[in-house]
Amino acid sequence: MKSIPRTLEWIGDLPGHLRLLDQTLLPTDLAYRDCRSVEEVWESIRNLRVRGAPAIGIAAAFGVVLGMQVHTESASCAERLNHICDYLRSSRPTAVNLFWALDRMEKKLLSEPEALAKDRPSSLTLHALTRILLSEAIAIQREDRQMCLAIGRIGAHLIHDGYGVLTHCNAGSLATSEFGTALAVLYSAHDQGKKFHVFADETRPLLQGARLTAWELQQAGIDVTLLCDNMAGQVMREGRVHMVIVGADRIAANGDTANKIGTYSVAVLAKAHGIPFYVAAPSSTFDLSISDGSQIPIEQRDPREITEGFGKVIAPTGVRVYNPAFDVTPAELITGIITEKGLIHPADARIIRTN
Ligand code: MRU
């Protein structure tokens, strides 16, 4: 696979900074954004400069390091950490990887006795503790890469020569540390020499499919056709789609899966046409604390993304708008979930629990 530019990277040591590929500028501009404060990371997550569930989690982990590397006069280490993590938790609500990564960072630091001292830490202690956090953030990023590689390896056998594969939103390299989840399966099949074709839904309103997935697949030399979201049913009816594969933002204990708005409609269409519908996601995307998808918080975004996205007014002033960023696909519409540990098939509570 031809390599896609790095989604995010820690630059330097301590103090250091987080370099993000600014995804709001793709596909026309390939530009990086250097985040030197936790506020800049929060803003980048909120405004989708970095997006995709695993990448959001990794960015937040580095955001914690940025917050902690600044020497302040007040607060104990635990208080500061808690404040920074809560702040980052408020950036976006749906992708559980964000909460998973922040919980992991907190747990790591709070297992250090020095972090529990009630007093303000000396700058030496703070430096040592921040180094532990940096190692943890780097580990989260490294493990994500391994999980994506494994997902690709495990899922590749589902793709056969001559297949048409439809995907929605972007679950690629850009959405993770590298390789992606749904797209990792495609990259892996491509590396094995399989000949298949991808249909990428454009993914209204923010066009992650058009701007990011079509771009990524082109870069990797994979055959791709861009579709408006409302064309998916037609290509299925024409018999050109043999499989759907998407990523996930949060998977409940019973397999109900939140992903980009429009995923549910694609799953219903796939069912109506007898086409297998797969979800690809690492274990960090499972939220076993909730029994089903009704408990997944769905992000509501600015109406202007619909009425004047990308700088052109396309709706009358004052019109009421509904803009949920995600929907939930019920487990019964999902043929299987590809994780780094194997294929969960069928996607049900019993098999998820034992995986
Ligand atoms: O709003 P976004 O662009 O962050 O939404 C991203 C998605 O819905 C992806 O499909 C999901 O996070 C999986 S990424 C491997």
pTM assigned to the model: 0.97
pLDDT value for 73: 66
pLDDT value for 185: 98
Q: Could you give phi then psi for residue 260, rounded to 5 degrees? A: -50, 140
- Cα distance between the two ends of the chain: 29
DSSP calls for 35-76: E-SHHHHHHHHHTTSS-SHHHHHHHHHHHHHHHHTS--SSS-
Q: Could you tell me if 85 and 102 are in contact, meaning their C-beta atoms sit under 8 angstroms apart?
A: yes
Cα–Cα dist 12/130, whole Å: 14
Residue nearest to atom 8 of ligand 1 (CA): 260
Cα–Cα dist 106/197, whole Å: 43
Q: Which of 208, 323, 328, 340 to mutate to test the pocket of ligand 1 (most atoms within 8 A of CB)?
A: 208
Cα–Cα dist 335/267, whole Å: 10
Name the H helices within the chain: 38-46, 53-68, 77-89, 96-110, 123-155, 182-191, 208, 214-219, 232-237, 263-272, 304-307, 349-354
Cα–Cα dist 190/169, whole Å: 20
pLDDT value for 216: 98
Tokens representing residue 238 in the block: 């024409």
Tokens representing residue 282 in the block: 């690492």
Cα–Cα dist 328/202, whole Å: 19
Q: Which atom of ligand 1 is closest in space to residue 280's alpha carbon?
A: 15
* Distance in Å, CA 289 to ligand 1 centroid: 21
Tokens 């004052």 map to which residue?
A: 318
DSSP 172: B
Distances (CA, A) of 46 to 42, 58, 80: 6, 14, 21
Residue nearest to atom 15 of ligand 1 (CA): 171
Strands 196-201 and 224-227: parallel
The CATH number corresponding to 154-354 among 3.40.50.10470, 3.10.180.10, 3.20.20.70, 3.40.190.10 equals 3.40.50.10470
* Distance in Å, CA 23 to ligand 1 centroid: 12
Q: Is 249 a catalytic residue?
A: yes
* Distance in Å, CA 209 to ligand 1 centroid: 10
State the CATH architecture for 8-149: Up-down Bundle (1.20)
Query: At CA 171, angle to CA 170 and CA 172, rounded to 5?
Result: 95
pLDDT tens digits, the chain, 355 residues: what are they? 667 889 999 999 999 999 999 999 999 999 999 999 999 999 999 999 999 999 999 999 999 999 999 877 678 899 999 999 999 999 999 999 999 999 999 999 999 988 888 888 888 888 999 999 999 999 999 999 999 999 999 999 999 999 999 999 999 999 999 999 999 999 999 999 999 999 999 999 999 999 999 999 999 999 999 999 999 999 999 999 999 999 999 999 999 999 999 999 999 999 999 999 999 999 999 999 999 999 999 999 999 999 999 999 999 999 999 999 999 999 999 999 999 999 999 999 999 998 8
Residue nearest to atom 6 of ligand 1 (CA): 52
pLDDT value for 1: 61
pLDDT value for 71: 72
* Distance in Å, CA 95 to ligand 1 centroid: 8
Computed on alpha carbons and rounded to an integer, the radius of gyration of the chain in Å comes to: 20
Longest dimension (CA), the chain: 68
Catalytic residue among 144, 201, 229, 249: 249
Q: Where are the domains of the chain?
A: 8-149, 154-354
Question: Which residues have any ligand 1 atom within 6 Å of their CB?
Answer: 48, 51-54, 95, 169, 171, 175-176, 180-181, 208, 247-249, 259-260, 325
Which H or E run includes 163? strand 163-167
* Distance in Å, CA 76 to ligand 1 centroid: 35
Q: Which atom of ligand 1 is closest in space to residue 247's alpha carbon?
A: 13
Q: Which of 56, 246, 259, 279 to mutate to test the pocket of ligand 1 (most atoms within 8 A of CB)?
A: 259
